[in-house]
């Protein structure tokens, strides 16, 4: 943890600044220590460089299962990919790289920290990536040498911040929460007036084949499996997807004339978008879909109501790959 992070943190229960005591440091990096609240006596350990606001053992069972699955995933699939920047921008469009300059940024559910790192590199004043699971260990390793990037372990529903952020984003996280709407409200409540919020979620529309046929298998079988077994088993659908994208979707979408043929293919927009990725990334995507115990598929109508509920203005919602929704709005 960098000492600068302390200026942004407050007690999640009583919202007062926290006191820091350091037991070990490595140069400027605080490795072990404690954050304490003088008002309510709560204290939060800093271990292995990460402030810990969530106790995984005292979580409700659904959250614990989600944290276990994703924690394992992001400690295994730690690879970086040069296409992440373009993919991230597609999830938060119409936001561009320039938008991050000098902003104080919050990421809800940072996983392995790939987007925290990009936001920092694109010039954010500071970016704080939050995740509930042990994915924070990977995120911390990926960002600890970047002076304007910070990682904390916390629950999106109990964030240790006041309303200080210029921008908050959450990519692929809210639909995995037990109450996605409440997670969205909690994240956006940390953005100051005039600041912006971005969210990307799975859509209900065009995903009926997943909700009818894949979800029952995910809920009853794959999300309950030992992750090492799922890792091997998920290679079968991943291999099918990999071959389809490399042999059919990628080539057919490459040139203009064939595009009209490709547009008739099943799930073309999505499979076209992942066709450039290699085996490991495609395997990550399939594993990600099968490991989650909770996944909601949210309609545009419902997503629109979330933005009304937070009182956002200038809301721009758009269809992403014809299977998911992305939104950007301004807090007032
Ligand atoms: C599909 S991953 C997406 C990670 C990252 N946004 C990305 O795109 O690489 C979902 C992440 O949400 C995190 N998560 C789930 N429930 C959470 C909660 N209640 N609070 C914070 N993070 C949570 C998981 O641990 C996981 O890392």
User: 151 in a domain, yes or no?
Assistant: yes
Same domain, 61 and 116: yes
Q: Report the pLDDT value the prediction gives residue 256, as an integer from 0 to 100.
A: 63
Domain extent, residue 20, equals: 1-52
Report the mean per-residue pLDDT for the chain.
97
Residue 171 CB–ligand 1 contact under 6 Å: yes
Asked whether the predicted pLDDT for residue 257 surpasses 90, the reply is no
User: 86 in a domain, yes or no?
Assistant: yes
CA dihedral 172, 174, 176, 180 (to 10 degrees): -160
Residue nearest to atom 13 of ligand 1 (CA): 109
Which residue from 201, 135, 195 is spatially nearest to 161, judged by alpha carbons?
195
Residue 175 CB–ligand 1 contact under 6 Å: no
The tally of domains found in the chain comes to: 3
Ligand 1 atom index nearest CA of 177: 16
Q: Is the dihedral of CA 88, 91, 97, 102 positive or negative?
A: negative
Same domain, 302 and 158: yes
User: 19 in a domain, yes or no?
Assistant: yes
pLDDT in tens, 70-81: 999 999 999 999
pLDDT in tens, 308-327: 999 999 999 999 999 999 99
Write the burial class of residue 127 (CB in 10 Å: 0-12 exposed, 13-18 middle, 19+ buried).
buried
In this prediction, residue 149 has a pLDDT band, given cuts at 50, 70 and 90, of: very high
Same domain, 116 and 128: yes
Same domain, 187 and 77: yes
- Average confidence (pLDDT) over 220-230: 97
Residue to mutate (ligand 1; options 62, 72, 115, 131; most atoms within 8 A of CB): 131
Same domain, 32 and 167: no
List the CATH number of the domain containing 71.
3.40.50.150
In this prediction, residue 124 has a pLDDT band, given cuts at 50, 70 and 90, of: very high
Residue 130 pairs in a beta bridge with 108, 152
Same domain, 48 and 162: no
Same domain, 248 and 319: no
Distance CA(217)–CA(295), nearest Å, equals 12
User: 211 in a domain, yes or no?
Assistant: no
Range in 14-28, 55-69, 136-150 the model is least confident about: 55-69
Residue showing tokens 């009853």 = 220
What are the tokens at 143? 């960002």
Share of the chain above pLDDT 90, in %: 96
Q: Report the pLDDT value the prediction gives residue 57, as an integer from 0 to 100.
A: 87
Same domain, 317 and 236: no
Residue 169 CB–ligand 1 contact under 6 Å: no
Same domain, 189 and 145: yes
Residue to mutate (ligand 1; options 70, 92, 129; most atoms within 8 A of CB): 70
Same domain, 190 and 87: yes
User: 166 in a domain, yes or no?
Assistant: yes
Same domain, 197 and 285: no
Same domain, 162 and 122: yes
């Amino acid at each position: 943890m960098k000492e600068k992070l302390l200026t942004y943190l407050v007690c999640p229960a009583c919202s007062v600044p926290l006191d820091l005591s350091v037991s070990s440091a490595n140069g400027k990096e605080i490795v072990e220590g404690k954050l304490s609240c003088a008002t309510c006596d709560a204290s939060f350990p800093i271990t292995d460089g990460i402030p810990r606001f969530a106790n995984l053992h005292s979580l409700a069972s659904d959250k614990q299962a989600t944290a276990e699955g994703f924690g394992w995933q992001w400690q295994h699939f730690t690879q970086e990919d040069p296409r992440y920047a373009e993919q991230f921008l597609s999830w938060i469009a119409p936001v561009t790289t320039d938008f991050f300059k000098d902003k104080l940024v919050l990421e809800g559910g940072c996983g392995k920290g790939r987007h925290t790192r990009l936001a920092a590199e694109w010039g954010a004043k500071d970016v704080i990536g939050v995740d509930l699971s042990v994915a924070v260990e990977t995120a911390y390793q990926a960002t600890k040498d970047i002076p304007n990037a910070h990682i904390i372990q916390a629950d999106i529903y109990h964030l240790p911040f006041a309303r200080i952020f210029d921008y908050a984003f959450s990519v692929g996280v809210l639909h995995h929460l037990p109450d996605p709407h409440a997670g969205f409200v909690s994240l956006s409540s940390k953005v100051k007036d005039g600041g912006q919020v971005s969210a990307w979620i799975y859509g209900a529309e065009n995903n009926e084949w997943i909700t009818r046929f894949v979800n029952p298998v995910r809920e009853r079988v794959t999300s309950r499996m030992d992750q090492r077994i799922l890792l091997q088993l998920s290679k079968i659908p991943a291999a099918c997807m990999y071959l389809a994208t490399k042999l059919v979707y990628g080539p057919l979408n490459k040139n203009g004339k064939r595009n009209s043929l490709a547009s008739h293919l099943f799930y073309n927009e999505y499979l076209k978008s992942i066709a450039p990725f290699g085996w490991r990334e495609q395997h990550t995507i399939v594993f990600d879909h099968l490991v989650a115990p909770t996944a909601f598929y949210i309609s545009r109508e419902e997503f629109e109501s979330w933005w009304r509920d937070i009182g956002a203005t200038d809301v721009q919602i758009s269809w992403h790959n014809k299977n998911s929704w992305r939104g950007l709005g301004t807090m007032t």
